[in-house]
């Protein structure tokens, strides 16, 4: 364990002490396990319960699948937009009030969805749920762990994303079981009670530690200048293209496999095994981060996503081989989750993490929201899901080139991203790190 602690510290050695503004004793001990529990519960109920209950609610209400799904998609769009002001609040005040409020809104939204008398109220309730997503999902949890855990943040982020990856594993079967014995409305009420019991007290009690002051930054590298810089804008565009391709692949995998001759149950298992691949990928990220510079690993992971997508497009079978490719694609997605979580801190430090992370992730979240339906529409015009996946692979290649272009050529300039590996950085003089605190 001591060796593991040392390598995590070495990963961002020059940020030690400044990252949190306080020592290890300031970390709230209950925060990490509490956030693991609340991420599983929030994602499982607010996000993953919907596709399980969708057939039940459309059969009961007579609403079209497209209309009900559009309400859910609108929630994802609201979440993307709300993430920017939520990020500002996180930077100033910390996660406790944000996540308590988000939990209360999430519970209220689930109850309103359960009692919705018509599609308009149903949609309005999902819009409220979108605000709750922005205040309870990964962004505020990442902001909390980044500030409190400082140089050990990658380990903490890995743990919470590993837990979050279990959300569908826990709540999809639970939701299906409840729906088999109750109607969809009562199921949502039961889930809302679980959400309230788990998340509201956990956020209220476990996030009470003082919010550490942001570390000092170079005067030239203000958050506005960073957000308008060429590296930031190109990285945002790269993540947007990559995110669209990634989520279109996730939602297109089952149709692709059925086109290739798999039965729906086998295709669904392939999708589930891809989720297991995400968990494996998140376990491998720290090793990759220790041995590569930030632009290098960004390019490698986005390109790897394109490679697995191209393989799925071009390999006709057999089905076991396609399932293996789906698992490999999941491994890449798991790494990409942590890549996004650490993108701001690895380049510009922790001072404005909440706001910059919100700005960086908002376009990608919008792309993720529209990807399933856009992908389905494009598949028809591209001759099927094989053609769609090939187009998505090309988009990933474009995203990889954008990631390369986001590398700033001059060290110390605004938007500069650390290009050397951590091992090489440790051999550099400490004074250099002190002069350029934002290069981490």
What are the residue boundaries of the structural domains of the chain, listed by start? 9-216, 220-440
Q: What is the pLDDT of residue 11?
A: 35
Question: CA 419, CA 347: separation in Å to the nearest integer?
Answer: 9
Q: What is the pLDDT of residue 274?
A: 77
Q: How confident is the model at residue 371 (pLDDT cuts 50, 70, 90)?
A: confident
Q: What is the pLDDT of residue 348?
A: 84
Q: What is the pLDDT of residue 61?
A: 94
14 DSSP 8-state letter: G
Is 212's pLDDT higher than 80? Answer: yes
Find the range with the poorest average confidence among 114-123, 272-281, 414-423: 414-423
Q: Do domains 9-216 and 220-440 have the same CATH topology?
A: yes
pLDDT in tens, 148-190: 887 788 788 888 988 887 787 788 888 888 988 999 999 999 9
Specify the residue for token string 């001072």: 351
Find the range with the poorest average confidence among 91-100, 220-229, 368-377: 220-229
Q: How confident is the model at residue 373 (pLDDT cuts 50, 70, 90)?
A: confident
Find the range with the poorest average confidence among 66-80, 92-106, 193-207: 66-80
Question: CA 349, CA 438: separation in Å to the nearest integer?
Answer: 5
Question: CA 208, CA 203: separation in Å to the nearest integer?
Answer: 8
pLDDT in tens, 429-438: 444 443 333 3
Work out the angle between the directed axes of helices 353-381 and 319-348 (0-180°, nearest 10): 150
Q: How confident is the model at residue 24 (pLDDT cuts 50, 70, 90)?
A: low
Tell me the pTM: 0.71
Q: How confident is the model at residue 62 (pLDDT cuts 50, 70, 90)?
A: very high
The number of angstroms, rounded, from the C-alpha of 11 to the middle of its chain's C-alpha atoms is 21
Q: What is the pLDDT of residue 426?
A: 47
220-440, CATH topology level: Growth Hormone; Chain: A; (1.20.1250)
Question: CA 348, CA 439: separation in Å to the nearest integer?
Answer: 6
Q: How confident is the model at residue 26 (pLDDT cuts 50, 70, 90)?
A: low
Question: CA 403, CA 397: separation in Å to the nearest integer?
Answer: 10
Q: What is the pLDDT of residue 244?
A: 92
- 250 or 1, greater pLDDT: 250
What is the DSSP code string of 394-419?
Answer: HHHHHHHHHHHHTS-SSTTSTT----
Look over the chain and give the mean of its residue pLDDT values, rounded to a whole number.
Answer: 81
Q: What is the pLDDT of residue 217?
A: 52
N-to-C CA span, the chain? 25
Is 418's pLDDT higher than 50? Answer: no
Q: What is the pLDDT of residue 154?
A: 78
Is residue 342 within 8 A of residue 154, CB to CB? The reply is: yes
Q: How confident is the model at residue 45 (pLDDT cuts 50, 70, 90)?
A: very high
- 329 or 151, greater pLDDT: 329
Q: What is the pLDDT of residue 427?
A: 46
Is residue 45 within 8 A of residue 195, CB to CB? The reply is: yes
pLDDT in tens, 123-154: 999 999 999 999 999 889 988 988 888 778 87
Is residue 411 within 8 A of residue 286, CB to CB? The reply is: no
Q: What is the pLDDT of residue 310?
A: 95
216 DSSP 8-state letter: P
The number of angstroms, rounded, from the C-alpha of 216 to the middle of its chain's C-alpha atoms is 27
Count of CB atoms situated within 10 Å of the CB of 173: 11
Count of CB atoms situated within 10 Å of the CB of 119: 16
Q: Helix, strand, or coil here: 82? A: helix
Question: CA 1, CA 430: separation in Å to the nearest integer?
Answer: 26
Q: Count CA atoms closer than 13 A to 325's CA, side-chain side.
A: 25
Is 271's pLDDT higher than 80? Answer: no
Architecture per CATH, domain 9-216, reads as Up-down Bundle (1.20)
Contacting residues for 158 by C-beta, under 8 A, at least 6 apart: 282, 283, 285, 286, 338
pLDDT in tens, 218-263: 444 577 888 888 889 999 999 999 989 988 888 788 788 888 988 8
- Assigned token pair, 358: 């919100």
């Amino acid at each position: 364990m001591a060796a593991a602690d040392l390598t995590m510290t070495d990963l961002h050695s020059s940020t030690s002490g400044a990252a949190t503004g306080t020592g290890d004793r300031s970390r709230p001990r209950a925060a990490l396990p509490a956030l693991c529990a609340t991420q599983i519960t929030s994602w499982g109920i607010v996000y993953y319960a919907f596709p399980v209950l969708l057939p039940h609610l459309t059969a009961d209400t007579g609403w079209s699948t497209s209309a009900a799904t559009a309400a859910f998609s609108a929630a994802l769009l609201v979440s993307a937009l709300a993430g920017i002001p939520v990020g500002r609040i996180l930077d100033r005040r910390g996660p406790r009030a944000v996540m308590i409020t988000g939990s209360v809104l999430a519970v209220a939204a689930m109850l309103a969805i359960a009692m919705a008398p018509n599609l308009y109220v149903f949609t309005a309730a999902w819009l409220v749920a979108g605000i709750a997503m922005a205040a309870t999902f990964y962004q505020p949890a990442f902001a909390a762990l980044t500030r409190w855990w400082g140089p050990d943040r990658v380990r903490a982020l890995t743990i919470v994303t590993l837990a979050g990856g279990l959300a569908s594993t826990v709540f999809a079967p639970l939701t299906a079981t409840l729906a088999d014995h109750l109607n969809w409305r009562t199921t949502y009420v039961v889930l809302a009670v679980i959400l309230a019991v788990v998340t509201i007290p956990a956020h209220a009690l476990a996030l009470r530690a003082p919010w550490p002051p942001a570390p000092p930054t170079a005067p030239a590298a203000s958050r506005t200048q960073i957000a308008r810089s060429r590296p930031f804008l190109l990285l945002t565009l790269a993540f947007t293209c990559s995110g669209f391709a990634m989520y279109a692949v996730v939602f297109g995998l089952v149709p692709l496999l059925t086109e290739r001759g798999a039965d729906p149950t086998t295709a669904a298992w392939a999708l589930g095994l891809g989720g297991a691949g995400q968990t494996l990928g998140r376990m491998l990220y720290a090793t990759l981060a220790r041995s590569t510079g930030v632009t290098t690993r960004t390019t490698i992971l986005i390109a790897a996503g394109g490679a697995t997508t191209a393989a799925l497009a071009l390999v006709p079978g057999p089905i076991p081989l396609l399932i293996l490719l789906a698992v490999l694609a999941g491994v890449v997605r798991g790494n990409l989750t942590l890549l996004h979580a650490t993108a701001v801190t690895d380049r510009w430090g922790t001072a404005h993490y909440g706001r910059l992370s919100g700005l960086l992730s908002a376009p990608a979240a919008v792309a993720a929201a529209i990807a399933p339906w856009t992908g389905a529409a494009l598949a028809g015009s591209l001759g099927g899901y094989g053609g769609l996946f090939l187009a998505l692979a090309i988009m990933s290649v474009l995203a990889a080139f954008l990631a390369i272009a986001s590398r700033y050529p001059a060290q110390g300039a605004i938007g500069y991203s650390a290009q050397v590996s951590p091992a090489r950085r440790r051999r550099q003089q400490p004074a250099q790190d002190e002069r350029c605190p934002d290069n981490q």
